[in-house]
Structure 1
Amino acid sequence: IMIDAIKDPKVDGVTCHVAYFDRSIIDRLHKGNWFEDPSDSSISCRQTGPITIGDIDMSERGEEVFKQGLSLIWKKQVVNRIYDKKNETLIYLSHSRQVQNGSAKMSVTTVPLYGQNVVWAKGKPQ
């Protein structure tokens, strides 16, 4: 199991830790699938400093913060950030994206902004 610390490039003060599989050579030999890692992942994001929010996508779909390959060609592990304006919360969603079949395996975490001293580079959304 691998764990990566990922800083949100548009939100200073937030760090996400993503855990995922990196299959061993023995497992690749045993299963016969050389070029693909499992879609399972877990994510936890926390405030790790003063929060300054840059020019983030405010749409319901949010925006991609991080992407890495889980297979030779198709499968990608993706982390998206979505701003929940009603609840003043940043939502981070880790999921696998596969062109052919997709994947329903996902993990979600939140960073509440309510009551925090948050700096908005372009002013707080109304």
Structure 2
Amino acid sequence: MRRLLLIAAAMMALPLGAAAEEIGQVSTVFKWVGPNDKIVVEAFDDPKVAGVTCYLSRAKTGGVKGGLGLAEDRAEASIACRQVGAISFSGELKDGEEVFRERTSLVFKTMQVVRFFDEKRNTLVYLVYSDRIIEGSPQNAVTAIPILPWAQAR
């Protein structure tokens, strides 16, 4: 049991990557006490690929536990990444490299976005999924961006 507590403490100390900017939200379930359950839409930029922004929608659990940050959010998420400028790379891209991570429970569950490069099709592929120390979820979503020239404003 002591080892499990040490692992949990170590997981809480890990950095969770770039922060997302909240774009908007909608309530899905009214709660008498605490915030409502909702779907949140967030945006984040790929830290190694300039010119790419990803939009993520995910469920956030409300109520008393959700308000205190103790609730476990559902594993479902949706992602759409888009080219928003000229694409350039800062550093070497590794397949399966984590570009975003957010805790979806107090300790054991996270939602992650990883990037792959499909060299044959010159396309960046982003995958969002949720995992847990003991058991993850097969639910996932994927999006792809073909790397195209970006027209310069005249």
Q: Name the TM-score, length of structure 2 as normaliser.
A: 0.66
Q: How many residues align?
A: 109
- Find the counterpart in structure 1 of residue 49 from structure 2: 11
Q: Does 1:117 align with 2:146?
A: no
Higher relative contact order (CA 8 A, sep 6+): 1
- Find the counterpart in structure 2 of residue 67 from structure 1: 101
Query: Whose Rg is larger?
Result: 2
Residue segments in structure 1 that go unaligned for 5+ positions in a row: 29-33, 119-126
Which amino acid counterpart does residue 102 of structure 1 have in structure 2?
Answer: G
Q: Name the TM-score, length of structure 1 as normaliser.
A: 0.80
> What displacement does 1:58 show?
3.5
Q: Does 1:95 align with 2:133?
A: no
- Find the counterpart in structure 1 of residue 58 from structure 2: 20
For the aligned residue pairs, the C-alpha RMSD in angstroms reads 1.7
Check the 8 A contact 2:61/2:71 in 1, yes or no: no
SS at the partner of 1:86? helix
| Distance in 2 separating the partners of 1:94 and 1:66 | 9
- Find the counterpart in structure 2 of residue 123 from structure 1: none
Select between 48-57 and 67-76 the one with higher mean Cα deviation: 48-57
Choose which of 105, 108, 112 in structure 2 pairs with 1:78.
Answer: 112
| Distance in 1 separating the partners of 2:135 and 2:121 | 33
> What displacement does 1:24 show?
1.8
> What displacement does 1:11 show?
0.4
Over residues 35-79 of structure 1, what are the superposed CA-to-partner deviations in whole Å (9 max), with x where a residue is unaligned? Answer: 2010000000000111112213344xx200000000011110000
| Distance in 2 separating the partners of 1:27 and 1:40 | 19
SS at the partner of 2:120? coil
Identity of aligned residues (%): 38
Q: Which has more helix, going by share of residues?
A: 2
> What displacement does 1:27 show?
9.1
| Distance in 1 separating the partners of 2:122 and 2:76 | 28
| Distance in 2 separating the partners of 1:56 and 1:92 | 16
